[in-house]
Structure 1
């Protein structure tokens, strides 16, 4: 739609046919994300759900506006032709626009909700990205399974580990020109021509984009999404704007620097979530 997205709200209900939930079992979650980055989360257990009052969990937090706008754009691209599966929970998604119109999409709470930011191929797992962005443990969104919260971070770690090996010894075993960007896209990294990444590096004393002071700046950035965007944007600049590019030692070292930081950050997040289990 042409109008800007103001906010989205996801109501995830995990009640299905089968044994009745216990009174304290969490059965419904509500998640609202605004375009400004504000986030509201709440959940009800079965007793609260039946009484339609009170909550077992509530949290207000925020994410960068840069992330919120990207996430809302992805959600707006979700297909409305979702198939329903019986005997499982369900979700209701409401998208609100700046002209006060609304759009609603409903589906089964089994995951498999994909969208796209670039091109038309739906290759971004929206639930996984929401869980990576929003610091709420046990968040369902479009998937009520017991899939661990840290899976999104684990996927980033495995991506960084595999490509770090390639840049340390470049060969034809991996398709750099298409494959690297395709994997960045499917992980949900933003390709903003390096705008956010370069801004954060300059704040930390890096004098030129991907230049002097890069390692020190990257080591100080604690955000997986900023580093991922930096890698995605650098790849884009090389393969789409520098028509005579050469994947030499300098270029490989820049990728290695970014990927090693991605490994550090995703390993840290992975370990943190495992400790909660």
Structure 2
């Protein structure tokens, strides 16, 4: 399947102490087929639902790198994997839009284990994307 873009929202708020105002609690990552990468990190700010932007990056990784990344997500779409859910950790939501405009949505907890074969997608993305402290699917473990 040909993929147009992937968007991942990772939120690391969990049960326990309330985050401090400057703690980064949510990240939005978009990867497009033309190699464009958009990243926004949000700090807790004034509380849940009132997050503030803490950092932003926009850059291009080139077509060969993005081709490898999107092919991995295409394989993920076809793999019909079980998703890890836990109640005391953060969550992620991923939307994959194919070239036909169909949107595929996946959700899970930030417990890692999102793989295609023996490839951990979180580690794979961290290798290609020059963004520090990416939560993606494991909350930056």
* 1:135 matches 2:138: no
CA distance in 2, matches of 1:109, 1:141: 8
Match of 1:94 in 2: 95
In the superposition, the TM-score normalised over structure 1's length comes to 0.48
The count of residues paired between Structure 1 and Structure 2 equals 138
Instruction: Provide the rounded CA distance (Å) in 1 between the counterparts of 2:95 and 2:125.
Output: 15
Question: How high is the TM-score relative to the length of structure 2?
Answer: 0.91
C-alpha contact 1:80 1:105 (8 A) present in aligned 2: no
Q: Secondary structure at the match of 1:86?
A: coil
Query: In the alignment, which residue of structure 2 is the partner of 1:174?
Result: none
Q: Provide, for residues 213-239 of structure 1, a one-character-per-residue CA deviation record: whole Å limited to 9, x for no partner.
A: xxxxxxxxxxxxxxxxxxxxxxxxxxx
Partner of residue 35, structure 1: 33
**Structure showing the higher strand proportion among its residues:** 2
Find the aligned partners of 1:57 and 1:19 in 2 and give their Cα distance. Answer: 23
Query: How large is the Cα RMSD of the aligned pairs?
Result: 1.5
Match of 2:112 in 1: 111
- Would you say 1:68 and 2:66 are equivalent positions? yes
The 5 A counterparts of 1:1-277 are: 2=1, 4-47=2-45, 50-52=48-50, 54-78=52-76, 79-115=80-116, 122-145=117-140, 147=141
| Whole-angstrom distance in 2 between the partners of 1:48 and 1:63 | 34
Output the CA distance in 2 between the equivalents of 1:132 and 1:86.
29
SS of alignment partner, residue 55 of structure 1: strand
Change (3 A) 1:49 1:62: farther
Question: Conserved in 2, the CA contact under 8 Å of 1:7 and 1:32?
Answer: yes
SS in 2 for 1:103: strand
Tell me, in whole angstroms, the C-alpha distance in 2 between the residues paired with 1:49 and 1:11: 18
Structure 1 residues 29 and 48 mapped into 2: Cα distance closer, same or farther (>3 Å)?
A: farther
1:89 Cα shift? 0.5
The SS at the match of 2:100 is coil
1:112 Cα deviation after fit: 1.3
State the distance in 2 between where 1:43 and 1:87 align: 21
CA contact (8 A) 1:31 1:40 kept: yes
More helix by share: 1
Deviations 1:149-172 (A, max 9, x none): xxxxxxxxxxxxxxxxxxxxxxxx
Q: 1:65 and 1:48 mapped to 2: Cα distance?
A: 39
The one-character-per-residue Cα deviations of 1:130-181 (angstroms, maximum 9, x if unpaired) are 0010001111111114x3xxxxxxxxxxxxxxxxxxxxxxxxxxxxxxxxxx
Which has the greater radius of gyration? Answer: 1
Structure 2 unaligned regions, length at least 5:
none
SS state of the match for residue 74, structure 1? helix
